[in-house]
C-alpha cells in the first residue's frame, strides 16, 4: 500500500511540475500556443459587422460607420490618417504578447492577435483607420476572444489601454 501511495504521490508531483512549467515559464508558451491556435481569421467588414450575443467582444466605432451598435464611439484625432496609423503601430509594438496577423495597406485595416499571460488564449484585434479630413482621422477597433464566452472585460480594457496613449500623444 505504501508503494502505491509513493507512486501516486510521485505521479501527482510530476503533473504539478509539468503544469507549473507550462503555465509559469516561457517553455510552456509554444505548447499552449499550439493548443489554443488562432486558425483562419475572417476579414471584418465594419459596414456589415454583426456582433454575437457573447460578452467576450468589444467594438468601438465612429458614429454611423459600423452596422453593429458599438460599445463606444471612437475618438477623432487632430492628425492625418497616416500619422494616426504610425502612432498606433508604436503603441501596439510595446504591448506584450502581440503578433501582427494580416493587413490591407490600401484599405487601412490590420489584424493582430494578443495572447493571455497564463494559458495563451488568443484574442483577435482588428483596426481600421478612417480619414475624416486632411488633418483629422479616427479608427474602428473590434477586439474579440476566440475561445470561451466571457472575457472578464479584457477586450474592453485592451481597447481603452491602447487608445489612452493615442489620446495623450496626439
Q: CATH number of the domain that 120 lies in?
A: 3.30.310.80
The β-bridge relationship of strands 98-104 and 122-133 is unpaired
Whether residue 28 has pLDDT greater than 60: no
State the chain's maximal CA–CA distance in angstroms: 80
Same domain, 2 and 47: no
Q: How far apart are CA 28 and CA 35, in angstroms?
A: 11
Same domain, 64 and 30: no
Same domain, 75 and 7: no
Same domain, 97 and 163: yes
Q: How far apart are CA 10 and CA 21, in angstroms?
A: 16
Query: Which cell numbers hold the place of 123?
Result: 484574442
Question: How far apart are the two ends of the chain, measured CA to CA in Å?
Answer: 70
Query: In terms of residue numbers, what domain contains 14?
Result: 1-35
- Provide the percentage of residues in the chain whose pLDDT is more than 90: 65
Tens digits of residue pLDDT in 128-146 = 999 999 999 999 999 999 8
pTM, to two decimals:
0.80
Amino acid at each position: 500500500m505504501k508503494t502505491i501511495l509513493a507512486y501516486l504521490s510521485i505521479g501527482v508531483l510530476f503533473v504539478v511540475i509539468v503544469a507549473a512549467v507550462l503555465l509559469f515559464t516561457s517553455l510552456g508558451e509554444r505548447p499552449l500556443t499550439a493548443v489554443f491556435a488562432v486558425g483562419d481569421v475572417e476579414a471584418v467588414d465594419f459596414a456589415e459587422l454583426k456582433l454575437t450575443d457573447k460578452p467576450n467582444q468589444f467594438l468601438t466605432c465612429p458614429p454611423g460607420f459600423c452596422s453593429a451598435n458599438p460599445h463606444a464611439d471612437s475618438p477623432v484625432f487632430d492628425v492625418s490618417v497616416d500619422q494616426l496609423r504610425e502612432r498606433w503601430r508604436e503603441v501596439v509594438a510595446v504591448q506584450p504578447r502581440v503578433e501582427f496577423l494580416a493587413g490591407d495597406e490600401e484599405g487601412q485595416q490590420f489584424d493582430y492577435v494578443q495572447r493571455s499571460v497564463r494559458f495563451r488564449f488568443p484574442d483577435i484585434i482588428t483596426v481600421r483607420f478612417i480619414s475624416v479630413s486632411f488633418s483629422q482621422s479616427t479608427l474602428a477597433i473590434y477586439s474579440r476572444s476566440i475561445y470561451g464566452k466571457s472575457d472578464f472585460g479584457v477586450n474592453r480594457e485592451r481597447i481603452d489601454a491602447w487608445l489612452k496613449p493615442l489620446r495623450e500623444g496626439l
